[in-house]
Amino acid sequence: MALEKTLAIVLRTFDWSESSRTIAFFAKEFGRIYLADKGGKSIKSKRGRVIKFALLEVTFYDSKKETSGYISDVELIKMYHMSGDGSLGRLAYASAACELLEQLLPKEEPQRTLFSYFNLFMEKLDQAERKSLPALFLSFFLRLLSQLGYHPSLGYCVGCSREYAELKKEKPGNFVPFSPERGGIICPSCQTPGDYYIKLPADVFAELLKLQSASLKEAESVRISYGEASLLLEALVKFLQYQAEISSKIKSLEFLDKLKKTELTSE
């Protein structure tokens, strides 16, 4: 078996004994891979330890069997502590990002640009002000969707392709109808009776539209509350369920939704 080395971030772990597990990584050179971590949970292990929310250099033996291979050594490159003000929110958003990547990334296909972007997102999430966290995650979510071919139509109607700016001038309203099944916003002329729409507040939707093309640095200055972000994320998750045929929920976002009215995530 060939010995490989790559930068990687842990996405998920699957325990299968007291000392061993399988770990899903987002690896810079390999994309989403699954490696056996034999004895890695044991305190007696002499090699580097696998740490969540950290940039790691992973050395592993490649294999074409049940997993992509098994870990030989691990070196910590950078730790993302997520311990600043609003730490529960930071941890929930970081966990949600990992869940999304584990579900959406194609297996064993390099995504070097996306890996660099994810690494930058983790740095921002670790260091940014608490008020910036919802917008940062939404920006990451939208970039991830676009990078992997799932691009929600926010700037124009999916029915007639008329731009949102034009529709807004023609018929301003308090809400913007979003269709997860059809893949984006729907103008009144293209709506069908009986179809399911999510009504997004127009002022909040305007921020979401801005974030679709924003850099992470630009997203830091956008202020969206945890409650507003929860509504927008519900729409994007339902969009994914239709467009990517993902049936499972993002558990970390459900946890964050429970905290949105508490002091733990208050503005």
Task: Write the pLDDT tens digit of every residue in 228-237.
Answer: 998 999 999 9
Query: What pLDDT sits at residue 79?
Result: 96
pLDDT value at residue 265: 47
Over the chain, what is the mean pLDDT?
89
Q: How far apart are CA 6 and CA 16, in angstroms?
A: 24
Least confident of 39-43, 145-149, 204-208, 263-267: 263-267
In the chain, where does the domain assigned CATH 2.40.50.140 lie?
Answer: 3-79
Summarize the confidence of residues 105-129 as an average pLDDT.
96
What's the average model confidence in pLDDT over 226-247? 88
Given this model, what pLDDT does residue 248 score? 66
Domain 3-79, CATH among 2.40.50.140, 1.10.10.10, 3.40.50.300, 3.20.20.70: 2.40.50.140
In the predicted structure, residue 267 carries a pLDDT above the cut 60: no
Higher per-residue pLDDT: 263 or 58:
58
pLDDT above 80 (res 246): no
Q: Tell me which of 66 and 9 has the higher pLDDT.
A: 9
Please list the residue range(s) of the chain that carry CATH number 1.20.1440: 89-153+183-265
Q: Point out the least confidently predicted range of 100-114, 191-205, 235-249.
A: 235-249
Q: pTM for the whole thing?
A: 0.91
At 98, the pLDDT band (50, 70, 90 cuts) reads very high
What is the CB neighbour count within 10 angstroms for residue 208? 27
CATH of domain 89-153+183-265: 1.20.1440
Place of tokens 């990687």: 8
For 14-46, what is each residue's pLDDT tens digit?
988 878 899 999 999 999 999 999 887 776 666
- How far, in Å, CA of 73 to CA of 47, rounded? 6
User: What pLDDT band is residue 217 in, cutting at 50, 70 and 90?
Assistant: very high
pLDDT of 163 over the 70 cut: yes
